[in-house]
Structure 1
Amino acid sequence: MMFARFVLAGLWRRWGSTALTLLIGACGLAGLILILWAQTALPEAVKARISETDMVVGPKASGLDLSLCCALHQTPAPGLVSLNSVEARLSEPDLKPYIRASVPIALGDSVEGIRIVWTRPDIVGFYHTRLAQGRLWTQPMQMVAGAQAAKTLNLRLGQTLGSSHGLAGEGEAHAARYTVTGILAPTGGVIDHLLLSDLGSIARVHAHGPDADDHDHAEATDGHHVNAVLVSFTSPVALAAAPALINQSDTLSAASPQLELARLLSLVRPVIYIATGLFVAIGAFGALVLTLSLVQALNRRARDLTLLRFMGATSLDLSLICLAEALLIVHAALMLGVGLSLLGQSALTHVLSAYGLSPRPDVPVDQWPWLYGAALLTACLSALVPALRLALTRDDEGFRA
């Protein structure tokens, strides 16, 4: 009990340096945990959002543009493509065995920033979801809402709502109004964040007003042109083969969202390495501050330690005091670091939710053993210098000090 009181009293006496050491160590650890979490949670969140879409077929554009627009639904549409030409190409013998399902999508409008996708009822089966309320559309200007979209807009069955041009929700408003006929069950995928309507709605919405012909998207063709066709494969083997076959066309291009986004994440990897090095440096600086704090405490408490030595304490006992202080600070930094990392994860999750990504805040349990081991090693190394100094100091030298 006296040993514990002596350790706690020493930490409290130098509360400023103790708090500084604790904060630096916690920030370094929180940063490392946040990076480790992001390296696994973000790719998994992206994969969950696009897991049903194996390939996007659209006009000539980069694979990343097609994936971001038509699979993640985060960017404007790159252009138009003939639906008949895409369906004819997918039905040819070299591609048909690979195709499990396909569904066309046309884009261009939104409701308060939530994208409207003009498509066919097949899209519900394509995304492996079901209706939670109501029914699918049976005619143009009827709408089915994804679970998160319905929650955000506070939609109910039978409600009517207008749309506007573009993705920002601040474009030209359209006079025609949709009627909500159904709400989908949540899936955790991209369809949760979309509003779905029939391809025939395109002409109905954009047939009003003098500027009806000024828009550059699919409405001018009554659904015969779309922005893309989403495809799912019968086998993962087609991920590499099918896009290459379609890209030989002069008018069509295809991309695998999974491969394109994997390439995008690989470009971010150097930034991850730099950030990891930065937080490791912060942790090392925290270890240095801890060492200096213990040495400073040793100088301040030289008289107390000498008296303990004359009362029967050995050099090992005094060294254990330094080690106990270091371990106590490191464990407190661990707990504070985990708490800070969870706060950071929650904040990042909140930001990403606006983009339809929902990573789950978590502590990387599989990485915890080496994190904890590194923290214990840091404590031992920090206590090593003052412990050696105590062990090498003779009783008479300590008494004179």
Structure 2
Amino acid sequence: MAIFRLAIQSLTNRKATAFLTILTVAISVALLLGVERVRTQAKESFANTISGTDLIVGARSGQVNLLLYSVFRIGNATNNIGWDSVEEIQRHPSVAWSIPISLGDSHRGFRVVGTTGDYFTHYKYGNKQPLTFTQGLPFNGLFDTVIGAEVAEKLEYKLGDDIVIAHGLADRKFSRHDNLPFTITGILAPTGTPVDRSVHVSLPAIEAIHIGWESGARMGVGVSAEGIDPDKLQPEQITALLVGLKSKIQTFALLRTINEYKREPLTAIMPGIALHELWGLMSVAEQALLVVSGFVVVAGLLGMLSSLLTSLNERRREMAILRAMGARPAHIFALLISEAVCLTLIGIMLGIASVFAVITIAAPFVLSQYGLQLSATLLNSREWMLMGIVLVSGLLVGVLPALRAYRQSLSDGMTIRI
């Protein structure tokens, strides 16, 4: 303990050099820990987005693309599904429930999801958690809408407010369905998924707002809400269909049936398998980032080694005085090792604090822009292991200057030879 206190005092006397060394280690640790945390929490965020859904059905496409646009609202569908096909799938004996989804419109940068009341009953996220309401109820009238928690927070909406949906993803004045405004009747509780950033309306409402529109442009002045008969609004096509089965055993049979569907080219995917393929595509980038951050840590530790070695010649008188006062070579060795451990440990602590601060500040922006839920939670076992490896590496880096100091003796005298 006395050696450790002496190491702290020695570093205090060399504040500038010690500070720069700690900063180098802290930056490298922050990069390593930040990459690891973003990687793991991005996976968790994606994996928690949908739960309890056995199949996702869409137009013929790659399974990753279908997963991205139907669940994560990233990208666009290659085509739509005819409503006749949807009804035939819904009538299949193995189907317990289904959630049709229609995408393509937006509201002030947030995606609009056309669906049915089954969405609020059967859609699950996380560990099969159902959607809940903080205020209001599911839509009932034709022009009712239910908004996600982030939509309500960002746009400061409350129950009873009217909103206008825009055609397509670019919310421009000429593309707005301003003749048919919607009234907010429900606000969903936060889920940490794309549901928070979605505006939900009924499928008949999607058909209603597109009456008089051709090829993305309004033809004429449009219709009014009073001139629309809700009973005649039958969807012609949708973007995707989420399907829950009565038995998991029937999953592969229905999957093959849909993929071999004759009426139109369809693709059915299992969300878990599609996520696994997505991780496979991202694995190369993940490993590359980890390798780069690992090299940055090595560079930081080498910088600490250079600093300790450079300071040895300047401290030879200090070492000689310690020897003259009774310190054994082992004490000198322990002193240099303790300094290296102190520098590394303080750098690790500063790096962890920096990562937590950045995540706390950047989490709302990352969530709104990229849909990733980042949180400054306690380190997990893998992160502790990485920090342990950095600490042990710092100790090993201190061995070389400690050995050099160990070999120095009073033969140098009380003056430094130049």
> What TM-score do you get using the length of structure 1 for normalisation?
0.88
Query: Which segment is superposed worse, 183-192 or 307-316?
Result: 183-192
Separation in 2, partners of 1:9, 1:309: 17
Structure 1's 52 and 12: CA in aligned 2 closer, same or farther, altered over 3 A? Answer: same
CA shift digits 1:376-395 (9 cap, x unpaired):
32232222122222332332
Distance across 1 between alignment mates of 2:399 and 2:211:
80
Counterpart check, 1:358 vs 2:373: yes
Where 2:375 maps in the other structure, the secondary structure is coil
Does the CA-based 8 Å contact 1:44-1:359 persist in structure 2? no
Counterpart of 2:336 in 1: which secondary structure? helix
Structure 2: 5+ residue stretches without partners: 124-129, 218-231
In the alignment, what sits opposite 1:110?
Answer: 106
> How many Å separate the matches in 2 of 1:299 and 1:237?
74
Query: SS state of the match for residue 77, structure 2?
Result: coil
2:118 corresponds to:
122
Residues 160-169 or 369-378, more deviating = 369-378
Matched, 1:61 2:75: no
Structure 2 counterpart of 1:17, one-letter code: T
* Alignment pair present for 1:28 and 2:28: yes
Other-structure match for 1:308: 322
Equivalence for 1:201: 205
Quick check: 2:3–2:334 contact (8 Å CA) kept in 1?
no
What CA distance in whole angstroms lies between the structure 1 residues aligned with 2:352 and 2:29?
A: 8
Query: In 2, Cα distance between the equivalents of 1:184 and 1:344?
Result: 28
In the superposition, relative to structure 1, how do residues 55 and 301 fare at CA in structure 2: closer, same or farther (>3 Å)? same
One-letter amino acid of the counterpart of residue 110, structure 1: S
The answer on 1:394 being equivalent to 2:397 is no
Equivalences, count: 391
Give the corresponding residue for 1:149: 151
Letter in 2 for 1:172: S
Alpha-carbon distance in structure 2 between the residues aligned to 1:199 and 1:356: 25
- Residues 29 and 225 (structure 1), Cα distance of their counterparts in 2 relative to 1, 3 Å cut: same
2:190 corresponds to which residue? 186
Listed one character per residue, the Cα deviations across residues 317-345 of structure 1 (whole Å, up to 9, x for unaligned) are 22222122111101111101101222343
Q: Distance in 2 between matches of 1:381 and 1:291?
A: 10
> CA-to-partner distance for each residue in 1:99-135, whole Å, 9 max, x for gaps?
3310212222111111222221111101222333333
Structure 1 partner of 2:279? 265
C-alpha contact (below 8 Å) 1:33/1:364 kept by paired residues:
no
- Change in Cα spacing, 1:335 to 1:257, as seen in structure 2 (3 Å) is same
1:253 — aligned with what?
267
1:274 is displaced (CA, Å) by 1.6
CA distance in 2, matches of 1:271, 1:50: 24
Contact 1:338 1:363 survives alignment (8 Å): no
Using the TM superposition, give the Cα deviation of residue 2 of structure 1 relative to its aligned residue in structure 2, in angstroms. 7.8
1:370 offset after TM fit, Å? 2.7
1:132 corresponds in structure 2 to 134
CA gap 1:54/1:153 in 2 versus in 1, 3 angstroms: farther
Q: For the Cα contact (< 8 Å) 1:64–1:260, is it kept in 2?
A: yes
Equivalences for residues 222-233 of structure 1 within 5 A:
222-233=234-245
8 A contact 1:50–1:72 mirrored in 2: no
Q: Could you give the per-residue CA deviations for residues 182-214 of structure 1, whole angstroms, max 9, x where no partner exists?
A: 223333443332222222212321225xxx122
1:24·1:282 contact (CA, 8 Å) conserved in 2?
A: no
Matched residues, percent identical?
Answer: 27
Task: For 2:398, give the aligned amino acid.
Answer: A
Letter aligned with residue 271 of structure 1 = A
**What letter is aligned with 1:245?**
T
Q: Secondary structure at the match of 1:101?
A: strand
Equivalent-residue separation in structure 2 for 1:204 and 1:90 (angstroms)? 23
CA distance in 2, matches of 1:105, 1:5: 65
Could you tell me how far 1:46 is from its partner in structure 2? 0.8
- 1:84 paired with 2:99, answer no
SS at match of 1:168: coil
- Give the TM-score, by structure 2 length: 0.84
CA spacing shift, 1:36–1:193, aligned 2, 3 Å? same
Whole-angstrom CA distance in 1 between matches of 2:298 and 2:189: 49
Q: How do 1:311-326 residues align onto structure 2 when only pairs under 5 Å count?
A: 311-326=325-340
- Does the C-alpha gap of structure 1 residues 6 and 202 become closer, same or farther in structure 2, counting only changes over 3 Å? closer
- Is the aligned partner of 1:50 residue 2:50? yes
Corresponding residue number in structure 2 for 1:213: 214
SS at match of 1:186: coil
